[in-house]
């Protein structure tokens, strides 16, 4: 039987973890989780989750543009959605009553938002719970390759958060990964990066090459060979950040939002148009997974060939 302290922690975690339901048909909608993470970062560093709309429209808009799917919505409007709509989840409050999604009233009122007072107090009284809540959110919405960037951007220490125990109740425990999947993917791609061929080893052990999901595991991507690529750590990061993509002809694409000044950085441009090729018998990524990545992760338009 769980002890009283553990039982008391679960309702707060469950309320935050329930934001995972704001995903439909594989489409990413990380706006609310990013706002909560921003509030958690502010709470951890300033002792209050209170955010002015003036600050949130800039910082939250930047987070959504950087870590959300490509969108034509303005950054200010994208920030207004979660800033007003998170109230319906029962964990957020505004100090002025404003209509949903309305930028004008937010500006006119000089509105501020914050986590509900009870939730904020629970998190202030239990810093470990705050860390666990942040970990639950990033693990539920993003791959581990992207999580440190997001945590840093909201003012939380990635190493501390990602070491936090997963204390979510059984009802919201994430599905388990296949422990054999990584080795199977690396073996299928000859233990080398599918994009650049990097195949570093130390004492015979592969180093600097990851097994990457095309459709993110956090967004229901399966642990199957047709959803996996062996990628060096650099290209894994760029793939998960939407800089690199794959078209329906299995050619690599480089997004136009990516820029570089040095020779090393510009080497990424050279990947554009290359044909994805694996060892004989290796399943290529399935078209539905490629389409998901193109729609939900890849940033903007690819460089023209």
Instruction: Give yes or no: residues 42 and 141 share one domain.
Output: yes
Alpha helices in 47-126 (DSSP H): 53-67, 75-85, 103-109, 117-125
Which of 135, 167, 199 corresponds to the end of one domain? 167
d(CA 150, CA 37): 9
Residue 162: domain span = 4-167
Give the predicted TM-score (pTM) of the model. 0.89
User: Is the confidence at residue 221, as pLDDT, over 50?
Assistant: yes
Question: Which tokens in the block code for residue 65?
Answer: 């543009």
Residue 79 lies in a domain: yes
Instruction: Give yes or no: residues 240 and 123 share one domain.
Output: no
User: Is the confidence at residue 234, as pLDDT, over 90?
Assistant: yes
Instruction: Give yes or no: residues 282 and 220 share one domain.
Output: yes
d(CA 92, CA 120): 10
d(CA 167, CA 187): 34
Condensed to tens digits (0 to 9), the pLDDT of residues 111-135 reads 999 999 999 999 999 999 999 999 9
Q: 127-157 burial, b if ≥16 CB within 10 A, otherwise e? A: eebbbbbbbbbbbbbbbebbbbbbbebbbbe
User: Is the confidence at residue 54, as pLDDT, over 50?
Assistant: yes
User: Is the confidence at residue 5, as pLDDT, over 50?
Assistant: no
Which of 125, 142, 167 corresponds to the end of one domain? 167
Instruction: Give yes or no: residues 156 and 87 share one domain.
Output: yes
d(CA 34, CA 102): 19
d(CA 82, CA 212): 30
Residue 264 lies in a domain: yes
Mean residue pLDDT of the chain comes to: 90
Instruction: Give yes or no: residues 137 and 29 share one domain.
Output: yes
Q: Residue 302 gets which letter from DSSP?
A: B
Which of 103, 133, 167 corresponds to the end of one domain? 167
Residue 172 lies in a domain: no
pLDDT of residue 195: 97
Residue 173 lies in a domain: no
178: exposed, middle or buried (Cβ count in 10 Å: 0-12, 13-18, 19+): exposed
Residue 130 lies in a domain: yes
Instruction: Give yes or no: residues 280 and 146 share one domain.
Output: no
Instruction: Give yes or no: residues 113 and 251 share one domain.
Output: no
The length of the chain in residues reads: 305
pLDDT of residue 4: 37
Instruction: Give yes or no: residues 31 and 59 share one domain.
Output: yes
Instruction: Give yes or no: residues 207 and 280 share one domain.
Output: yes
Query: Is-contact 91 119, C-beta < 8 A?
Result: yes
Give the SS3 label for residue 165. Answer: coil
Residue 202 lies in a domain: yes
Residue 174's pLDDT band (boundaries 50, 70, 90)?
Answer: low
User: Is the confidence at residue 7, as pLDDT, over 80?
Assistant: no
Instruction: Give yes or no: residues 237 and 279 share one domain.
Output: yes
Kind and range of the H or E element at 115? Answer: strand 112-115
- Count of structural domains within the chain: 2
Residue 23's pLDDT band (boundaries 50, 70, 90)?
Answer: low
Instruction: Give yes or no: residues 242 and 108 share one domain.
Output: no
7: exposed, middle or buried (Cβ count in 10 Å: 0-12, 13-18, 19+): exposed
Instruction: Give yes or no: residues 216 and 106 share one domain.
Output: no
Contacts (Cβ under 8 Å, ≥6 apart) of 143 = 212, 213, 216, 217, 218, 240
């Amino acid at each position: 039987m769980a002890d009283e302290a553990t039982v008391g922690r679960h309702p707060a975690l469950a309320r935050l973890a329930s934001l995972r339901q704001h995903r439909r048909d594989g489409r990413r909608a990380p706006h609310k989780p990013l706002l909560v993470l921003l509030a958690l970062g502010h709470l951890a560093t300033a002792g209050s989750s209170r955010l002015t709309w003036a600050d949130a429209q800039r910082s939250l808009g930047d987070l959504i543009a950087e870590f959300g799917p490509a969108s034509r919505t303005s950054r200010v409007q994208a920030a207004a959605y979660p800033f007003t709509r998170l109230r319906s989840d029962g964990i957020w409050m505004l100090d002025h009553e404003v209509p949903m999604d309305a930028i004008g009233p937010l500006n006119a009122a000089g509105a501020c938002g914050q986590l509900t007072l009870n939730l904020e107090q629970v998190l202030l009284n239990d810093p470990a719970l705050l860390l666990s809540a942040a970990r639950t959110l990033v693990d539920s919405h993003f791959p581990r390759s992207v999580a440190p960037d997001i945590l840093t951007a909201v003012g939380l220490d990635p190493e501390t958060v990602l070491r936090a125990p997963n204390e979510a109740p059984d009802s919201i425990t994430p599905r388990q990964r296949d422990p054999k999947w990584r080795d199977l993917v690396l073996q299928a791609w000859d233990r080398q990066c599918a994009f650049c061929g990097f195949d570093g080893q130390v004492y015979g052990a592969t180093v600097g090459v990851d097994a990457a999901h095309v459709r993110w595991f956090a967004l229901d991507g399966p642990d199957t060979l047709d959803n996996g690529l062996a990628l060096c750590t650099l290209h894994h990061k760029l793939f998960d950040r939407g800089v690199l993509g794959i078209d329906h002809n299995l050619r690599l694409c480089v997004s136009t939002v990516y820029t570089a000044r040095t020779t090393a950085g510009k080497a990424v441009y050279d990947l554009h148009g290359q044909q994805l090729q694996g060892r004989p018998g290796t399943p290529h990524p399935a078209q539905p997974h490629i389409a998901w990545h193109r729609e939900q992760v890849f940033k903007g338009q690819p460089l023209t060939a």
